[in-house]
A and B are shown apart, each in its own frame.
Chain A
Amino acid sequence: MKKNGTLGAGGWMLGLVLSLLFSMVLGVALIWLSIDRNDTAYSIHKLQKRVEEARSHVNKLEVERDSLLSPYELGKKAEELGMGMADPGQVRRLEKQ
């Protein structure tokens, strides 16, 4: 009975130590996860910014392209090259037989 009682106290002590250790591990893990979460969030934020900037850049380039391909610009170029809209009788079509 005495022996059992001594062993029981040691068991509680061991349990307590293990619990404390486990809590410490969990605490460290929580801190690590939190830090990692923050790092990931920063990375995502940075990448989102880069994507947004790239998208914005693409948009601006597309606007530039559209401006250069506008019918007015193409009309000017065509005129410079001596081209124009076909008149009746000037159209030639190729058809497969």
Chain B
Amino acid sequence: MRPGSSLSTRTARGSSSRRLHANQRRPSEPRGGRKTGGRLDWQTLRFQIAAGLFAVIWVVLWGRAFYVQLVMGPELAEQAMRQHTYTELVEARRGTIYDRNDQVLARSVQVRSVYANPREIRDPVHTALTLAPILGLDAASLQKQLEKDRSFIWVSRKIDDATASAVRRAALPGIGLSREYERVYPFKHLAGQLLGFVGLDNVGLEGVERSFNELLAGTSRKNVVQRDGTGRGFYTDSASAAQGKDLHLTLDVQIQFIAEEVIAEAVREAEAKWGGVLISDVESGEILAWAQYPFFNPNTFRLSTPAEYRNHLAADALEPGSTLKPFLMAAALEEKIVTPDTVFYCENGTWRTNKIVIGDDGRAYKDLPVSKLLTYSSNIGMAKLALEVGAQTYRTYLTRLGFGQRTGIGVGESRGILHPLQDWREVNLMSAGFGQSLSVTGIQMLQAWTTLANGGLFRPLRLVRDESGREHQASQRVFSARTANEVMRMLIDVVDGDGTGTRARIPGIRVAGKTGTAQKADPHGKNGYGEKRLASFGGIVPADNPRYVIWVMLDEPTTVTYGGKLAAPVFQKVASRVLAYGGYLPGVVFATADGAPGTASSSRPARAAKPSKVKAGASPDVTGMSLRRAMERFALAGAVPEVRGDGLTVFRQQPAPGEALEKDGSPRPCIVWMSREAYEEDIRKAEQQAAAQAVETAQAAAVPAPRQEKASSVQPGKTEAEKKDSSTGSPRQKTGTGRQSAQAAARTGTSAR
């Protein structure tokens, strides 16, 4: 080591060290602008200020971030959500209502409604003047609405497509179009009162629409829709509203149309308050028609009054009158209180008892067998029969038939009035015997008549086809089949015999039915009844093989008031057309081979009269058949019948089906009557013959006939045979109607020529 060099190095190091630290703070020096050798260290100060500033900014930024994220976070997130998304109400489509053949009775279609956001409208005057003519509104009132400080108002709802296009073309700020569903009834007034209608918000307000609202309505829901910067929206959630379910009714549009057309004509002609027709299918209990006039069009329900859309057939409880008599008769026969041959004295048409007077409407009957009480619709006879049956029994049967309770078919209906047993006084019982002192609805009557037509088996009526559970409801027997058949025979006599329902006859088809002309209750009238009437008819067709029950009622007719003259022809027209529609009218069958053009090789009646097997030696059933087929069947049985009258089908035959063709080894006379006129002509001749024979017998015997004991002619429980034993004359002779004996003679073939 060299000392000189070492010194110079040290010196150099020392000066270098001074230079090096000239701009640096010594570690032992205090911070801040301190004077270094009397000078301020600005460089350090600037650095410190900048660092401090950055630190402050940093802290402020973090503070702001903290505030925005954590304090204002939820609120801002909500605000952002509002800006980026909006909710859209998706209205559920209401289910469609169909008839039994899937014809649409009510359906929902999409329409547009016009709304406004008054806050976005810059020029309410211009908007109102433009929009009012398009929508058919008053411009001044529209302007007032548009000037309101609101964010939403409906301008016009459920407009047609052309109007919606015009509104769209106008492109007015603050005016928009939204989608809604409108209920449309394509068949207009067809079944209007039954279907009912829905309000603006698609909620059922009347009829089936109201009763089945829950099923039909579905559930509307709100969808969240995202939108971009231009405001275009797109769905982030694909779920849509729960659509309403469809409803399949049991109605048949064609049968409904037939019923409506006929009842409308009848109500107009009779100048009645209203009229209705109900038709049921006997086998299934399904309601095929529910017709009412005056009509109601649900498409324009706002133009109708509540009286017009009232469902009278289910909501109006009225005293039915004589159409209730078959059920008392069935109850009496079922309980074996009487037999068809039991005779009732009918007081010569007027019966004063219990401070009331019961009349037979101008007809004076003396003794009538039970089998004729319905035929002649004797109020006195039925009142006496009601007394024999008793209030408890009669009421029990009425309850089992469904009176005094709702049928449960699913529309708003009345229970009717069936008084508690303790309120049934003798007078009530008597009047209930001919259908007064109790009130029923049309649908209850249809239920009871359907039970009778169904052989006494009560099967609940149905209006909805796919309603779960109801299809499997157990049937309940009210009357035995034997009783039902017995009453059916009497009801056939009402129409086919000389009863009150002759205007319900249909050529070639056997009809069972009963007329009714009920006085309507009036608190100001005599005995609580006024001059107003309810004309009705209950009928079953074809009576041989019941398929349809038809209930007809006309309320307060003015020109004609009798059920037999007014309601029976309605039944006849409806039944004929319904049978034609169903293919049950008698007709000629043309046989074809593999679809070849038909050749008239055979003919047969309607499906209703199914040909049974022919038994040799026994009379075949040929009623309702064509002459050709009837002759063939008699020939197979071993007889050639005599033909009377001109007609397409056999009206009556002799011997009765199943009876032997021979008696005591000799052939019995076989006759087929092809028309009612021919049959009645033979009956008339037989009557004259019987009368002449009676005169001859009386003259020969020269002994006067024993006098009748009229005062005690009500002999309940006593059959005709018993009466024969206990008196010298038969009940038929007692009534003095040679006609009946002649009919009997005609039936046995002894004097029908």
Q: Is the CB of A75 within 8 A of B261?
A: yes
Q: Does A59 contact B (CB under 8 A)?
A: yes
Q: A63-B104, A66-B104, A90-B585 are in contact. List 14 more A-B contacts (CB 8 A).
A: A45-B233, A59-B110, A62-B104, A63-B109, A63-B184, A70-B187, A70-B190, A70-B253, A85-B258, A87-B576, A88-B648, A88-B649, A93-B589, A96-B593
Shortest Cβ gap from B221 to chain A (Å):
16
Q: Is the CB of B257 within 8 A of A71?
A: yes
Q: Cβ of B232: which chain A residues have Cβ within 8 Å of it?
A: 42
6 tightest Cβ-Cβ pairs between the two chains A and B: A91-B587, A71-B257, A66-B186, A41-B234, A56-B110, A89-B648
Q: Does A19 contact B (CB under 8 A)?
A: no
Contact among B190, B236, B261, B590 for A93, CB-based, below 8 A: B590
A-B contacts, 26 listed (Cβ < 8 Å): A41-B234, A44-B234, A45-B235, A52-B110, A56-B110, A59-B110, A60-B161, A62-B107, A66-B187, A67-B186, A70-B187, A71-B190, A72-B190, A75-B261, A86-B585, A88-B508, A88-B576, A89-B586, A92-B587, A92-B588, A93-B587, A93-B590, A95-B592, A96-B591, A96-B593, A96-B594
Shortest Cβ gap from B553 to chain A (Å):
22
Q: Is the CB of B109 within 8 A of A89?
A: no
Q: Does B723 contact A (CB under 8 A)?
A: no
Q: Is the CB of A94 within 8 A of B590?
A: yes
Contact among A60, A89, A96 for B587, CB-based, below 8 A: A89
Contact among B108, B261, B508, B598 for A89, CB-based, below 8 A: B508
Report the separation of the CA atoms of residues A41 and B232 in the bound assembly, to the nearest whole angstrom: 11
Q: Does B507 contact A (CB under 8 A)?
A: yes
How many residues on A have C-beta within 8 angstroms of the other chain's C-beta atoms? 32
Report the separation of the CA atoms of residues A56 and B257 in the bound assembly, to the nearest whole angstrom: 28
Shortest Cβ gap from A82 to chain B (Å):
17
Q: Is the CB of A72 within 8 A of B595?
A: no
Contact among B103, B161, B583 for A66, CB-based, below 8 A: B103
Q: Does B188 contact A (CB under 8 A)?
A: yes
Q: Does B616 contact A (CB under 8 A)?
A: no
Contact among B103, B581, B587 for A85, CB-based, below 8 A: B581
Contact among B187, B234, B508 for A42, CB-based, below 8 A: B234
Q: Is the CB of A94 within 8 A of B598?
A: yes
Q: Does B506 contact A (CB under 8 A)?
A: yes
Q: Cβ of A70: which chain B residues have Cβ within 8 Å of it?
A: 186-188, 190, 253
Q: Is the CB of A71 within 8 A of B253?
A: yes
Q: Does A97 contact B (CB under 8 A)?
A: yes
Q: Does B509 contact A (CB under 8 A)?
A: yes
Interface size class of B (residues with CB under 8 A): 35 or more
Q: Please judge, given known A-B contacts A70-B186, A72-B257, A89-B649, whether A96 and B595 are in contact too, CB under 8 Å.
A: yes
Q: Cβ of B585: which chain A residues have Cβ within 8 Å of it?
A: 86-91
Q: Is the CB of B228 within 8 A of A38?
A: yes
Q: Cβ of B254: which chain A residues have Cβ within 8 Å of it?
A: 71
Report the separation of the CA atoms of residues A38 and B233 in the bound assembly, to the nearest whole angstrom: 10
Whose C-beta in chain B lies nearest to the C-beta of A46?
B234
A4-41 interface code vs B (CB 8 A; 1 in, 0 out): 00000000000000000000000000000000001001
Shortest Cβ gap from B524 to chain A (Å):
41
Shortest Cβ gap from A49 to chain B (Å):
10
Q: Cβ of B649: which chain A residues have Cβ within 8 Å of it?
A: 88-89
Shortest Cβ gap from B578 to chain A (Å):
9
Report the separation of the CA atoms of residues A85 and B576 in the bound assembly, to the nearest whole angstrom: 9
Report the separation of the CA atoms of residues A73 and B297 in the bound assembly, to the nearest whole angstrom: 15
B492-536 interface code vs A (CB 8 A; 1 in, 0 out): 000000000000001111000000000000000000000000000
Q: Cβ of B256: which chain A residues have Cβ within 8 Å of it?
A: 71
Whose C-beta in chain B lies nearest to the C-beta of A68?
B186
Report the separation of the CA atoms of residues A78 and B609 in the bound assembly, to the nearest whole angstrom: 30
Whose C-beta in chain A lies nearest to the C-beta of B261?
A75
Q: Cβ of B595: which chain A residues have Cβ within 8 Å of it?
A: 96
8 Å CB interface, B317-372 against A: none
Q: Is the CB of A44 within 8 A of B580?
A: no
8 Å CB interface, B274-299 against A: none
Q: Please judge, given known A-B contacts A42-B234, A89-B649, A92-B588, whether A59 and B187 are in contact too, CB under 8 Å.
A: no
Q: Cβ of B581: which chain A residues have Cβ within 8 Å of it?
A: 85
Shortest Cβ gap from B292 to chain A (Å):
15
Report the separation of the CA atoms of residues A95 and B591 in the bound assembly, to the nearest whole angstrom: 5
Report the separation of the CA atoms of residues A92 and B104 in the bound assembly, to the nearest whole angstrom: 31
Q: Cβ of A42: which chain B residues have Cβ within 8 Å of it?
A: 232, 234
Q: Does B477 contact A (CB under 8 A)?
A: no
Q: Is the CB of B186 within 8 A of A63?
A: yes
Q: Is the CB of A88 within 8 A of B187?
A: no
Contact among B235, B508, B592 for A94, CB-based, below 8 A: B592
Report the separation of the CA atoms of residues A44 and B237 in the bound assembly, to the nearest whole angstrom: 12
Shortest Cβ gap from A6 to chain B (Å):
31
B580-620 interface code vs A (CB 8 A; 1 in, 0 out): 11010111111111110010010000100000000000000
Q: Does B747 contact A (CB under 8 A)?
A: no
Report the separation of the CA atoms of residues A42 and B187 in the bound assembly, to the nearest whole angstrom: 40
Q: Does B245 contact A (CB under 8 A)?
A: no
Q: Cβ of B594: which chain A residues have Cβ within 8 Å of it?
A: 96
Shortest Cβ gap from B338 to chain A (Å):
36
Report the separation of the CA atoms of residues A52 and B179 in the bound assembly, to the nearest whole angstrom: 11
Q: Cβ of A71: which chain B residues have Cβ within 8 Å of it?
A: 187, 190, 253-254, 256-257
Q: Cβ of A88: which chain B residues have Cβ within 8 Å of it?
A: 506-509, 576, 585-586, 648-649
Report the separation of the CA atoms of residues A95 and B110 in the bound assembly, to the nearest whole angstrom: 47
Q: Is the CB of A97 within 8 A of B591?
A: yes
Contact among A55, A91, A92, A95 for B580, CB-based, below 8 A: A91
Shortest Cβ gap from A63 to chain B (Å):
5
8 Å CB interface, B225-239 against A: 226, 228, 232-236
